[in-house]
């Protein structure tokens, strides 16, 4: 290996190490690696920034506008509900997979989490047996079209940079559809058998999420000196007194005896549904930690929001005070939901974890400012009803249908079809120019452009060819199928460790170089790498929908392996076979 190849390899290893340690966000990791290689002179400006002259970043930006209109008008909720229905869970999985082939899977999962949990509760089932299959179904559905996941768009862009034709609309389905069908069948028939019952039926448990809130007994207030029963805190509807911490010794009582005498300054921890937790604000004798911020709700300029801590967030491992949450986000955390047992201490002393849901009070612009930031996987307003279909819902769906039709019939390329859809969305008034701008996740657009640049540098410096030489020399005795297995396995591992964007950017150039050496079809090898890089089924951090169900399902990290390993085995078996057919 030459000096340039060694520098590129070392940079990629450092990038992967930082991403695996969750010290940087995927966007920052990929951008940082690309900029370093440019600054030290490994790549010129043309190669470094080739991704931004590639159709992929602009395509995803335009699709964000079209998809944003579908979500904002309530059309997505209507579409998902009609596709999923409520008769059998199998229909829910297949319906969510179909929806994810054409719109982003994150909002699909966000819409269905609540209905799926309620469906499970009505049948006295554990929702933990259903939510991981729901996430996996949307991942599988996204494999089947070029717009189903950003991984396919990144892969198409890298293919263009390598001199190959871009993917057509349904070309990913050549590999993705067989994998999706088998994976969905496994999710339907094995999910309930392999996944543990993490949510035991309990009348004290809320139908969706149990938030924990800390309250202080007001000194000399109406509850000071009363027993828990006399204070009316034993049988609160939808609320459960989890623990009490004495003000003098700091001793924590859990469970709390009904005859326990409350004292001024004692911290009580309650768990319950959002509405009941919010109602504690008005209960005499209890002082919430953020009482002053709650009073701001009456000014009409503040509201309740729920924010889910995302993968790579700087909040992970820190307390609210250490993160300087109030100053950084101009918001006050009132309650916390976490997978597992209810919290017993002060919220301010809890170190935040991946998947924690924060119930907070903030000004009305909070969601707009932070919904696209890496700290939060999902931000939604809780003090207003869920979106319902508006008069423009049908029009937004018609525009999405037009984009799909133009792409399928190849009347134009995907970029031009997406641009037409975005232009019509703004021209018809479905979204204002500002709303269209806010719908675009610039961090993802930047990530796609830089990931394509990383792939180009790996190819231009000869690193991809060197790695392909090593791979072929080791696996050549097994034949092209052995090389295909090695490539698929590498993509599967990388997508769990360093995100799908980095995985496809690294493995796709190697796949194309390997195909040339073993006499395989470059396009089939590239398609195999793309589909494998989308197959994140082993951890809650490999893909954002896996993270979204982590808290509501009260999952443990290893729960994802129970169903994820069989589906991953299917990918590892089927994809290499299709690569060499």
Question: What element of type H or E holds 279?
Answer: helix 274-279
The pLDDT tens digits for 99-142 are 888 887 877 887 788 778 777 777 778 888 889 999 999 999 99
Degrees, nearest 5: CA angle 129-237-363:
80
Query: According to the model, what pLDDT value does residue 143 have?
Result: 93
CA distances from 106 to 339, 478, 510, 529 (A): 19, 40, 30, 23
Query: According to the model, what pLDDT value does residue 563 have?
Result: 94
Six token digits for residue 567: 């589906």
Query: According to the model, what pLDDT value does residue 544 have?
Result: 79
For range 444-459, the mean pLDDT? 85
In this model, does residue 291 exceed pLDDT 60?
no
Q: What is the 3-state secondary structure (H, E, C) of 157-179?
A: HHHHHCCCCCCCCCCCHHHHHHH
Identify whether the C-beta of residue 443 lies closer than 8 Å to the C-beta of residue 372.
yes
For range 537-541, the mean pLDDT? 84
What CA–CA distance (Å, rounded) separates 20 from 496?
9
For range 475-499, the mean pLDDT? 84
For range 390-409, the mean pLDDT? 85
* Dihedral sign (CA 408, 409, 412, 417): negative
**Residue 174 CB burial class (10 angstroms; 0-12, 13-18, ≥19):** middle
Six token digits for residue 448: 């796609």
**Reduced to 3 states, what is the DSSP secondary structure of residue 305?**
strand
Top mean pLDDT of 120-129, 201-210, 224-233 is at 224-233
Query: According to the model, what pLDDT value does residue 179 have?
Result: 95
390 pLDDT tier (thresholds 50, 70, 90):
low
In this model, does residue 263 exceed pLDDT 80?
yes
Cβ neighbour number for residue 154 with a 10 Å cutoff:
31
For range 60-73, the mean pLDDT? 84
CA distances from 84 to 24, 93, 111, 149, 176 (A): 36, 7, 11, 20, 20
Query: According to the model, what pLDDT value does residue 290 have?
Result: 55
202 pLDDT tier (thresholds 50, 70, 90):
very low
Query: According to the model, what pLDDT value does residue 532 have?
Result: 93
For range 399-412, the mean pLDDT? 88
pLDDT cut 90: percent of the chain above it: 18
In this model, does residue 493 exceed pLDDT 90?
no
Domains of the chain listed by start with CATH number:
211-381 (3.30.70.1450)
* Dihedral sign (CA 542, 543, 547, 552): negative
Six token digits for residue 391: 């008069």
Please report the beta strands in 274-416, taking only residues with DSSP state E, as ranges in sequence order.
286-288, 302-309, 331-337, 357-363, 376-381
265 pLDDT tier (thresholds 50, 70, 90):
confident
Query: According to the model, what pLDDT value does residue 181 have?
Result: 95
In this model, does residue 278 exceed pLDDT 70?
no
Query: According to the model, what pLDDT value does residue 517 have?
Result: 87
Pick from 56, 5, 9: which is nearest to 162 by CA? Answer: 56
Identify whether the C-beta of residue 546 lies closer than 8 Å to the C-beta of residue 540.
yes
200 pLDDT tier (thresholds 50, 70, 90):
very low
**Reduced to 3 states, what is the DSSP secondary structure of residue 40?**
coil
Bigger pLDDT: 334 vs 412: 412
Contacts of 32 (CB under 8 A, 6+ apart): 15, 18, 24
What CA–CA distance (Å, rounded) separates 370 from 390?
25
What CA–CA distance (Å, rounded) separates 460 from 425?
39
Average pLDDT, the chain: 81
Could you tell me how far CA 538 lies from the centroid of its own chain? 14
């Amino acid at each position: 290996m030459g000096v340039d190849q060694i520098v590129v390899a070392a940079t990629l290893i450092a990038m992967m190490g930082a991403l695996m340690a969750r010290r940087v966000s995927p966007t920052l990791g990929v951008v940082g690696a690309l900029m370093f290689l440019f600054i030290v002179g490994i790549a010129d400006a043309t190669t470094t920034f080739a991704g931004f002259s590639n159709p992929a970043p602009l395509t995803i930006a335009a699709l964000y506008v079209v998809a944003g209109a579908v979500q904002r008008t309530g059309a997505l909720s209507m579409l998902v509900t009609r596709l999923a229905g409520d008769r059998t869970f199998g229909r829910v999985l297949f319906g969510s997979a179909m929806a994810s082939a054409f719109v982003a899977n994150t909002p699909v999962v966000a819409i269905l989490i609540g209905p799926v949990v309620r469906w499970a509760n009505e049948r006295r089932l554990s929702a933990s047996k259903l939510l991981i299959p729901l996430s996996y179904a949307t991942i599988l559905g996204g494999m089947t079209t070029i717009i189903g996941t950003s991984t396919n768009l990144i892969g198409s862009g890298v293919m263009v940079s390598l001199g190959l034709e871009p993917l057509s609309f349904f070309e990913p389905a050549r590999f993705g559809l067989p994998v999706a069908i088998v994976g969905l069948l496994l999710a339907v028939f094995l999910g309930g058998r392999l996944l543990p019952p993490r949510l035991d039926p309990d009348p004290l448990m809320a139908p969706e999420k149990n938030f924990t809130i800390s309250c202080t007994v007001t000194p000399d207030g109406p509850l000071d000196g009363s027993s828990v029963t006399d204070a009316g805190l034993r049988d609160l509807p939808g609320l459960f007194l989890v623990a009490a911490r004495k003000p003098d010794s700091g001793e924590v009582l859990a469970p709390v005896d009904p005859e326990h005498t409350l004292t001024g300054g004692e911290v009580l921890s309650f768990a319950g549904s959002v509405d009941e937790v919010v109602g504690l604000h008005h209960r005499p004798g209890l002082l919430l930690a953020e009482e002053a911020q709650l009073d701001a709700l009456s000014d009409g300029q503040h509201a309740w929001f729920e924010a889910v801590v995302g993968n790579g967030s700087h909040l992970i491992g820190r307390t609210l005070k250490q993160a300087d949450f109030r100053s950084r986000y101009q918001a006050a955390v009132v309650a916390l939901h976490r997978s597992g047992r209810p919290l017993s201490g002060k919220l301010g002393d809890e170190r935040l974890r991946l998947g924690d849901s924060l119930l907070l009070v903030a000004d009305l612009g909070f969601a707009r400012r932070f919904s696209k930031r890496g700290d939060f996987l999902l931000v939604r307003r809780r003090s207003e009803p869920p979106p319902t279909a508006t008069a423009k819902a049908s029009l937004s769906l018609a525009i999405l249908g037009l984009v799909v039709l133009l792409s399928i019939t190849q009347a134009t390329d995907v970029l031009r079809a997406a641009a037409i859809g975005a232009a019509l969305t703004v021209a018809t008034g479905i979204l204002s120019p500002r709303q269209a701008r806010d719908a675009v996740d610039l961090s993802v657009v930047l990530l796609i452009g830089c990931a394509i640049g990383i792939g180009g540098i790996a190819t231009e410096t000869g690193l991809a060819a060197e790695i392909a030489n090593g791979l072929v020399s080791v696996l050549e005795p097994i034949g092209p199928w052995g090389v295909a297995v090695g490539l698929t396995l590498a993509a599967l591992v990388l997508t769990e460790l360093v995100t799908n964007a980095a995985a496809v950017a690294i493995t796709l150039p190697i796949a194309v170089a390997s195909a040339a050496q073993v006499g395989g079809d470059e396009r089939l090898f590239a398609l195999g790498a793309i589909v494998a890089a989308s197959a994140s089924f082993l951890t809650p951090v490999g893909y954002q929908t896996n993270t979204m169900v982590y808290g509501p399902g009260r999952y443990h990290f290893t729960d994802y392996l129970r169903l994820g390993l069989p589906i991953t085995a299917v990918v590892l078996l089927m994809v290499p076979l299709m690569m060499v057919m």
